[in-house]
Amino acid sequence: MKDFPYTESKDTRSGFGAGLHELGKTNPNVVALCADLIGSLKMDAFVKDFPERFFQVGIAEANMMGLAAGLTIGGKIPFTGTFANFSTGRVYDQIRQSIAYSGKNVKICASHAGLTLGEDGATHQILEDIGLMKMLPHMCVINPCDYNQTKAATLAIADYEGPVYLRFGRPVVPNFTPADQQFEIGKGVLLNEGADVSIFATGHLVWKAILAGKLLADKGINAEIINIHTIKPLDARMILESARKTRCVVTAEEHQMNGGLGDSIAQLLAREEPLPLEMVAVNDSFGESGTPDQLMEKYGLNETAIVAAVEKVMARKTK
């Protein structure tokens, strides 16, 4: 099992804030909108240095999505910022009609996704957002794993023409992605080569998959670990290549089973290469209040759960 050294832990939302600030300097068409959550989205630096390109919308997310769609008419590249819950479910019809169906170049940037939002509880812990967004035709859906990757993704989506959903979060997690690693939309990142099982993880579960890989190595299981940061378009080629080699698959994500990364990969395998698959994800449940670590443990989204899923799926492999 490869080692993944890191010098510090950081929150992915700060990677977004840093990327947005850099875009402010390098791309004059980038504008930002926020629904009363500048500090939470780490947009402070952009607001301070580019006030004429920042729009404080207040607690009015539906209006924010419409404004963003309008700003593209005139060549702007709007980045909207609020919590994942208010970036998707609350404004689904606005995104559907004014952004996705209208083909507008809006970047929907969503923080505090999933259980790791913690103590605020289920009202704010959206676990359906990937599914909601990936169902929209032509919507690109990205869920990076750490600070450096979130920053790189933020820079990359500015150069991508079309609507994008960029999902990140609040907790501090190991920042192991090399700072100079290019972010390629739709391309998985091979983290560890292995032969016994393929683990496809996204977002905060990527680090958990690495931890699981070490535990598995101690048991003599050689796991291939791939970071699928782009859920749509899915890197079908890389996923199928790995699955054909290892003959069994585990998916891991901070999301509902329905509609998430596991659901996309299950569809792909069912069509192209039916193989045993286990999903590490929330099973048809809302979250609750608690610390992020407590919640990830209770809802089965940690390295222990991944190890258990690997053992289960390997037992299902045809001999």
Partner 1 sequence: MAQSTASETHAPEATKSVAELQQIATQVRRDIVRMVHAVNSGHPGGSLGCTELLVSLYFKVMQHTPEPFDMNGIGQDLFFLSNGHISPVFYSVLARSGYFPVSELATFRKLNSRLQGHPATHEHLPGIRIASGSLGQGLSVATGAAQAKKLNGDQSTVFVLMGDGELEEGQIWEAALYAPHHKVDNLMAFVDRNGQQIDGPTDKIGGLGDLRAKFEAFGWRVLETDGNQFETLLATIKEGQGLLGQGVPVMVLMDTQMGFGVDFMMGSHKWHGVAPNDEQLATALKQLEVEKASDY
Q: Which C-beta is closer to partner 1: that of 9 or that of 56?
A: 56
The whole-angstrom separation of Cα 266 and Cα 275 is 9
For residue 165, the minimal CB distance to partner 1 (Å) is 18
| CA 243 centroid distance within chain | 22
Q: Which C-beta is closer to partner 1: that of 161 or that of 284?
A: 161
Q: Which C-beta is closer to partner 1: that of 65 or that of 210?
A: 65
- Name, in order, each residue with C-beta under 8 angstroms of 143's C-beta and a sequence gap of 6 or more: 113, 130, 167, 168, 202, 203, 229, 231, 253, 261
Q: Which C-beta is closer to partner 1: that of 72 or that of 198?
A: 72
Q: Which C-beta is closer to partner 1: that of 5 or that of 137?
A: 137
For residue 243, the minimal CB distance to partner 1 (Å) is 35
For residue 106, the minimal CB distance to partner 1 (Å) is 10
The contact set with partner 1 (CB under 8 A) reads 31, 52-53, 55, 57-58, 60, 62-76, 78, 93-94, 96-98, 101-104
Q: Which C-beta is closer to partner 1: that of 67 or that of 261?
A: 67
Strand partners, 226: 190, 200
For residue 13, the minimal CB distance to partner 1 (Å) is 24
The whole-angstrom separation of Cα 177 and Cα 174 is 9
For residue 92, the minimal CB distance to partner 1 (Å) is 10
For residue 168, the minimal CB distance to partner 1 (Å) is 24
For residue 25, the minimal CB distance to partner 1 (Å) is 17
Strand partners, 192: 225
* 131-160 residues labelled b (16+ CB within 10 A) or e (exposed): bbbbebeebbbbbbbbbbbbbbbbbbbbee
Q: Which C-beta is closer to partner 1: that of 73 or that of 179?
A: 73
